[in-house]
Each structure stands twice: as structure tokens, then as C-alpha cells.
A and B are shown apart, each in its own frame.
Chain A
Amino acid sequence: MKDLADTSGQPPGAAPNAPPAIELRGISKAFGPVQANKDISLSVAKGAIHGIIGENGAGKSTLMSILYGFYKADRGEILINGQVTQIPDSQAAIAAGIGMVFQHFKLVENFTVLENVVLGAEEGALLRTTMSNARKHLTEIAEEYEMNVDPDAVIEEIGVGQQQRVEILKSLYRNAEILILDEPTGVLTPAEADHLFRILRGLRDEGKTIILITHKLREIMDVTDTVSVMRRGQMTATVKTAETSPEELAELMVGRKVLLRVDKKPAQPGATVLKVEDLRVVDEDKVQRLKGVSLEVRAGEILGIAGVAGNGQSELLNVLGGITRATGSVQINGQEIDLTGKYSDGRSRRERSIAHVPEDRQRAGLIMDFAAWENMVFGYQWDPALNKGWLMDNAGIKAETEGKMERFDVRPPNPQLAAKSFSGGNQQKIVLAREIERNPDLLLVGQPTRGVDIGAIEFIHQQIINLRDAGKAILLVSVELDEIMGLSDRIAVMFDGQIMGERLPGETNEGELGLLMAGVTNGGST
């Protein structure tokens, strides 16, 4: 029996000779002029964990949204357990036993857990019996899969990890046999991710089929049985995980050989540029976001801040960038800067030679409807060099933009084009060009390569290193541990608004950093 399963490629939880749980044939989908999925075929065996990996914009999420009935395919058919199934909407997907956990959770924030679970799966027109039955059923499922949540907790008052559980419970409550998860670990600590993967393995062993969408090679290698690679809307390969390597998958994703390591010379740190002492931030809901952060960045070095999203890194960047007010002390080149008063805004920071590449370029770094040339001065529009008297020097700005676009390899190099018309990587290059060409003493960089295609990642990393080699100080925040390890000269790990410790990249490993990210220091848990 075991031998047969191995040779046929059947995963452990599968019944022999059963039709595949999911089969997609020739799926195509266009959004206006953009072809998101081109003639995609895919087969996933019952009881398998199947990974789908690909770059941002490769069409993974679109494909899965089609399977879940969220989008409608232009062409192609879907077979569930060997039966051709029409999935015009999510209702049909749910009826076919498919559940999906979206990257951005689809929960009603001011509803309770129970209300969210029940929504759309009510037993009758009145709520009374539905609610009492659902409460019992939910508790059973939660215990079975070790996913304890309080049914009466309000969604906006629980953490993201808990919210993700609610999403999974929602699917299980609807008796899903096929579970799709879109980038589920982005908001989790390594430990929470491991727990999630344990749950997924448990579900698989019960015969459920799981599709995991991710861009993280490590997760694919750790947890999946089989893996498909997508590139530019097409399915380029489907392989057994045991028979492939991260290098091979990376090459399949990009279509060429990729350097997974960054080449750089050793740093030559100079004088201290940024000195932060006892920085504290309390947000609108009176929650402490930064609990006394102290750090230093010197000229000619990159300090990387590692940590799971939501542990204060964003607040740190925002305080330094003048967006959020704080208490404590921040010095630039030995001079104190204003953290609460009139001069605690983005403009004052820029005047002090602090440049900021924000974490979210679409919501902060760029005005998506503005032309490239307008974005090229966004944040510096007050600079007398960009103005002629009362009016802005639009002609001069356009001319300068052309040069910057060329030097930063922005494609297409058209200053008139709106920012939203560029790809993620080229948008990021516009932001980098704007901030780096100001030749700042300190560069704040958040998630420099999030949603950026691999080709552009190398270029962006190189630009950051060039600035370092020019003797500038750089504070790098990223949730990608690989990026932190590759770029940083020193690494500080943040957890729960505090710095848990500092390490040198050559003297640490992902395991040690992962523990720090979860708040575990050598002395035990904090």
C-alpha cells in the first residue's frame, strides 16, 4: 500500500485512485487590458497540501479567487472530485465544499466571532436557534482542531492571529473539504506560523485538501506535498516538493537564474548619525506601541530591524519620519529633533536631511493619480529650488525627472504617466529615486521590496548598499528575514514595542532571530 502511494505520487491522506479534489482546465481571466490568468490547468490530489508560489502579480490570488467564485473566469472549467462544477459565486464554491482564507480577512469588525461565523450560513430566517446551535457546533470544531477563540469576542478587539483562526473556523463550520489560504503567514510570528502549519497538517491527515498561496520558498519546502509555480499569469511547472529545491523554484518563478544572496563589501561605520533614546508611543486607543526604544545608526552602515509586522516597527519609522508623535529623544548628527511640537512633521524631517521610503508606497509614498514628475518632488514641493516665486517650476521638475527615471531604470521612462500605471517595482524605484537623490544623511526604508518583482529586488538592494557605501546612515525595516540578513550590517529585533536584542548577521541564524521575534530571550519569555 505504502509503495503504491509513493509511486503514484499520492500524498499520505489520500484515498487510492480517487479523482483529484480539484482540477482546473484552461482557465483564463482578463481585467481590462491586463491578462491575469492565461490558459491555466492544475490538478490537486485529495488530501494533499498543495503550494502555489509565484511573484507578486503572477496571478496566484486571481486564480484562487476564481476557484472560490469571487471572480468569474473568462474561459475554462473547474472540476471538483472529478465532476464539472459551475462556480459563478462564492455561494456555489461553499456548496462545493471550498473555503478560502483571504490575505486581507473578510470579517465584520464590530460583529462577534460567532456572528461572523454564522453570517451566510444561518439555519433559518430567525437568529435565535441559529445562534445557540452555532455556539455548540463552533465550540466542538474549535476543540477538535485546537483553535480556541471566544465566540463572544468582538473581532476588532482580538489579535490578527485570532482573526485568522476565525476565518479558518468559518470555512470548517461550512464543512469545507478544500481550504485555500492566501499568504497566511504574513501577519504571524514564526512560532504562530508553525502552529498554523500543524493545524494544516492535521486537516490534511483527515483527508481535507489544502491550497497554500505564498511567496515564501521556505514555507513551500516546509509544509507542502506538491507545488505549482506561476509566472506572469501562466502556470510554469508543477512538481513534488520532495523532488525540488528552493533554487530551482526561484528560477522557475523568475524565468532566469537568481542570486538569493546580496554581494556587499564590509561596512565602514563612521560617526553616529541617528541616536534614539527611550522612544515611547501611545496610540489613540491608549495602547503602548513603542515601549522605550533606544538605538543608534552610524554613517556608512545599515541597521536592520527584524520583527513580525505590528510589533512597533511601523511606529518607529513613522516617528522618525515625522508622521507620529512620541516622547523620548531623537538626535540627528547630535542635534535634538522635535517629537511633539510644531516641527514634528514630515517636512521638518526632510529639512533635517532625513529621507523616508515608507512601508506602503501606494498609500503613503506616492499619489497614485499624480504623474511621475509630480511624484518625483512629492514631499519636497516646498523646496525653493523647485519653485519660481509663487509658482512651481513644473518645466524644470519634468526635465529633472527624466534624468532620475533613467538613473533608476524606471520603465517606461515617461514622466507624464500616472504612478498607478507603473508596476510595483517601478513605483518603488520612483520613490527610491526621489529619496536617494536628495542625498540624505539618514535614509529610513520600510519594506523596500514588498510586492516587487525579483528582477527589481536586486536593483533596489544595490541602490541601498550604494548609499551606504557613500557614507550615509540607513535604517531598514523589513518583515522578510532574508532581506534583513542579506542587507544589514547590524540587526535589531523588535517585539511588542521593544528591542529584544541586537545581533551581527554573520553571528546569528534564522532560528535565533525567530525566537527573539517571538519575544523569547535567552533568559526565557518576557
Chain B
Amino acid sequence: MDFSTLIQVLDSTLRLATPLLLACLAGLFSERSGIFDIGLEAKMLISAFFSAAFAYTTGSVWLGLLAGIAASMVFAFIHGLASITFRGNQLISGVALNFLASGMTVLIAQSWFSQGGRTPSLIGGARFEGLELPFAIGPTDAAAAGRPLSQMLAEAGPLQLFYSELISGHSILVYIALAAVPATWWILFRTRFGLRLRAVGENPAAVDTAGISVVGLRYAAIGIVGILCGLAGAYLATGLQAGFVKDMTAGRGYIALAALIFAKWRPWHALGACMLFGLLQALALRTDVVEALFPFKMPVQLLDSMPYILTVVILAGFVGKAIPPRAGGQPYVKER
């Protein structure tokens, strides 16, 4: 494998890891506050559809993003209603919302666009374009020089290639996702809100008797989940791909959950886990690279299921024990 192939795989890793990372951080806020959320998938999917639908109709990807976040927030709020206000089973709520999102998106898509449950392809301002960072070789340089971009990149030195292809040229949501990692760490461990959020996931009674609203904190966490999953879904439909197709999240919500466990509920580790899982996804798309890498014939199915297998191994405690927040999954009821 030559250097430019490596850069291509890593570039693809970064793109594929972005929705995972956003969803994973969403799950981190949720579970740190004591709410299990296996409905990350639902929120991403509903956001993917509404962002694509609104971006297509208005021609503005930003309005699409807002619509996606709003839809994701609505789903997050339903989950909050079920698991905080009505103290229901959080797993069941997640399962229900996953179904709801999967059905609703196709139903509405068919009703609005009549294209077999997908949105029309997005073009121009209805999609997030890659940002060209200063000094990077991008499409505008290629247009100015009147030469194909691939050719210009092929001629560039390794450092320039690394910078132009891997660091530069991603949509703004990729950079937002990366910036969300230190931001999450800072909020969690350096702010009052973070202290309280971590406390409510461990012992809500301690928070309650300290005069802080458990319900308020958990809804705040739910709100953050809504925003982050909204970004993740919008990125899928308007950044990574050009439009919504049925069930386009394809289990990413579960992979994000797996990454969260892999990361043991810590932000920086979440970045690492998502990059690893993103790399696996990127490799699954490049069978030529996989064949070059492994002496035997690697079934693509094995690559696909690597994140799941790794998560089971982690859960089995063979690579250190994964201890979730103690109050996770249990609705808070004042004891009687």
C-alpha cells in the first residue's frame, strides 16, 4: 500500500468516523446523566431525513441542518418523557423510537417526494461542501489551474498531500465533531454543569438532596443528545451522502453505543474508539486494500462485524472492565 492510498483510507476513516463520533458523544452525555439510549439510531435517522428534505426544499443546507436538529430534539424529548417524566423502561423506549424513525422517515418521504422513500438528490447549496483550509490544494485551485484535482494531488509532496487530502477539504461538521471532543471533556470535568451531570448519573438522590433538580439536569442532557444526534444525522444525509435513503444510518447508532462502551464513557477515548471503528468501515469499502493487507482472504462480513465483536470482547472484561454510570438505566424514584 503506497502513501497516497493510506491517505485515502485515512481520509475516508475520518469521514465515516464523524457521525459515529457525534452520536457517541451524544450517548456519553446521556449515559453520564443516567439515561440509557439505544435510540441514537432513531435520532440520527430522523435528522438525516428532515435535514435532507428541508435542504432540498429550501435549497439551504443550513436550514436543513436546523430542521434535522429540531426533529432529533423531538425524538430526544419523547425519550425523555418516557424515561424521565413517566419513569418507563429506557431500553423499550429506545427500541420503540428506532422503529418509529425507521417507519416515519420512509412514510413521509414517500408522501412528500414519491421517490420510493428517499429524498431527491441534493446539489449545490443543499449540501455541505468541503472547507478548503489555507495553503491546501482543493477544487478551487484545480479549477484555477484548469487541471484535474487528482493529478495535482498526485504531484504534490507527501506533506502537502497529507495536509490537502486528510486535514483539509472536509465539511464543517467534521471539524465540529472533532472540536466537540475537547469541549465535552471540558464541560464534563471543568464546569459546574459537568459535576452535576456526572453526579446525577451516579446517584440522583445525592443531587436531589443537594437541592438540584434531577429532572432538569437529565432533560438538559437529553437536549444535548438531540443536538449532537441532529448534527450526526444531518452530516450523513447532507455531507457524507447527497440525500436521504431508507435506513441510511445502517446501525451506526449501535456502533456509536459500542464505541461508547469501548471508550468506557470518556471523551478522548471515544475519539479513539470512533476512529478505530471508522477505519474498519473504511477498510470494508476498500477490498483492494484489504486483500493487499492480509495474506489470506478476509471476508468482508468479518470486517463489517469487527466493531460488534470488539465490543463483546470489551464487555466480557478481557480488556479491562467497563463500568457504566451506576444509576444508568434506572428511572429516579424518591424512595418510599
Neighbouring A residues of B326 by C-beta, 8 Å: 109-110
Q: Are B191 and A108 in contact (CB under 8 A)?
A: no
- In the complex, the answer to whether A124 meets B192 with C-beta atoms within 8 Å is yes
With an 8 A cutoff between CB atoms, is A121 at the interface?
A: yes
Contact between A109 and B209, CB atoms less than 8 A apart: no
Out of A100, A108, A124, name the residue touching B203 (CB < 8 Å).
A108
Whether the pair B192, A108 counts as a contact (CB closer than 8 A) is no
Task: Chain A residues near B205: list those with CB within 8 A.
Answer: 106
A104 and B203 CA atoms in complex are apart in Å by: 12
Does B297 sit at the interface, judged by CB under 8 A? no
Across the interface, do A89 and B192 meet the contact criterion of CB distance under 8 Å? no
A126-134, A217-225, A311-319: which lies at the interface:
A126-134
Closest residue on chain B to residue A93 by CB atoms: B211
Tell which of A112-120, A240-248, A262-270 binds the partner.
Answer: A112-120
Contact check, B209 vs A102: say whether CB atoms are below 8 A apart.
yes
Q: How far is A31 from B210 in the complex, measured between Cα atoms in Å?
A: 23
Whether a CB of chain A sits under 8 angstroms from the CB of B208 is: yes
* Chain B proximity of A460: nearest CB distance (Å): 24
Q: Which of A93, A107, A111, A126 contacts B190 (CB 8 A)?
A: A126
Interface residue B313 (Cβ < 8 Å from any Cβ of A): no
Q: Are B212 and A91 in contact (CB under 8 A)?
A: yes
Q: Which of B193, B209, B336 is close to A125, meaning CB atoms less than 8 Å apart?
A: B193
Contact B191 A119 (CB under 8 A): no
Q: Per-position contact with A for B181-201: 1 when CB-CB < 8 Å, else 0?
A: 000000000111111101100
Number of residues on chain B facing chain A (CB within 8 A) = 24
Interface flag for A71 (CB, 8 Å): yes
B41 within 8 A of A: no
**Residue B123 at the chain A interface, CB threshold 8 Å:** no
- With a 10 A CB-CB cut-off, give which of B193, B194, B202, B206 has the most chain A CB atoms: B206
Contact flags B305-336 to A (C-beta < 8 A → 1, else 0): 00000000000000000000010000000111
> Is the Cβ of B206 less than 8 Å from the Cβ of A106?
yes
Q: A126 is contacted by which of B192, B202, B208, B334 (Cβ under 8 Å)?
A: B192
Main secondary structure of the interface of B (DSSP, over half): helix
Is A68 close to B, CB under 8 A? yes
Could you tell me the distance between the alpha carbons of A92 and B326 in the complex, rounded to whole angstroms? 28
Smallest distance from the beta carbon of B322 to chain A beta carbons, Å?
15
Cβ-Cβ contact count across A and B, 8 Å cutoff: 78
Q: Specify which chain B residues have a CB less than 8 angstroms from the CB of A116 in the assembled complex.
A: 206
CB contacts under 8 Å to B, within A60-76, are 68-71
Q: Is the CB of A126 within 8 A of B207?
A: no
Closest to B190 in A: A127
- Nearest CB on A from B333, distance (A): 12
Query: Are B199 and A111 interface neighbours, CB within 8 A?
Result: yes
Q: Is B213 an interface residue, CB under 8 A from the partner?
A: yes
Contact assessment for B190 and A106 in the assembled complex, using a CB-CB cutoff below 8 Å: no
A360 CB within 8 Å of chain B: no
Q: A70-B208, A109-B203 are in contact. Are A120 and B191 (CB under 8 A)?
A: no
> Chain B CB within 10 Å — which of A69, A120, A124 has the most?
A120
CA distance A91 to B214 in the complex (A): 12
Select B195's contact among A102, A110, A127, beta carbons within 8 Å.
Answer: A127
Closest chain B residue to A121, Cβ basis: B210
Asked whether B211 lies within 8 Å of A31 as measured between CB atoms, the reply is no
* Complex Cα spacing A111 to B189, Å: 12
Asked if A94 is an interface residue, CB under 8 A from chain B, the answer is yes
Give the residues in chain B near A437, CB-CB below 8 Å. none
Choose from A107, A122, A127 the contact partner of B206 (Cβ within 8 Å): A107
Q: How far is the CA of A122 from the CA of B335 in the complex (A)?
A: 26
B190 touches A120 (CB 8 A): no
Asked whether, in the complex, the Cβ of A110 is within 8 Å of the Cβ of B202, the reply is: yes
Complex partner residue of A100 from B192, B195, B202, B209, CB under 8 angstroms = B209
Set of chain B residues within 8 Å of A118, measured between Cβ atoms: 195
The residues in B between 200 and 230 inclusive whose CB is less than 8 angstroms from any CB of A are: 202-203, 205-213
Chain A, residue nearest B213 (CB): A89
Task: Add 15 more A-B contacts to A106-B206, A108-B198, A115-B195 (CB < 8 A).
Answer: A70-B208, A70-B209, A90-B209, A90-B211, A91-B212, A100-B209, A102-B209, A106-B209, A108-B203, A109-B202, A109-B203, A111-B199, A111-B202, A119-B196, A120-B207
A-B contact pairs, 6 of them (CB 8 A): A70-B208, A90-B211, A106-B210, A111-B202, A122-B195, A126-B192
Chain A residues within CB distance 8 Å of chain B? 31, 68-71, 89-95, 100, 102, 104, 106-111, 115-116, 118-122, 124-128, 130, 170
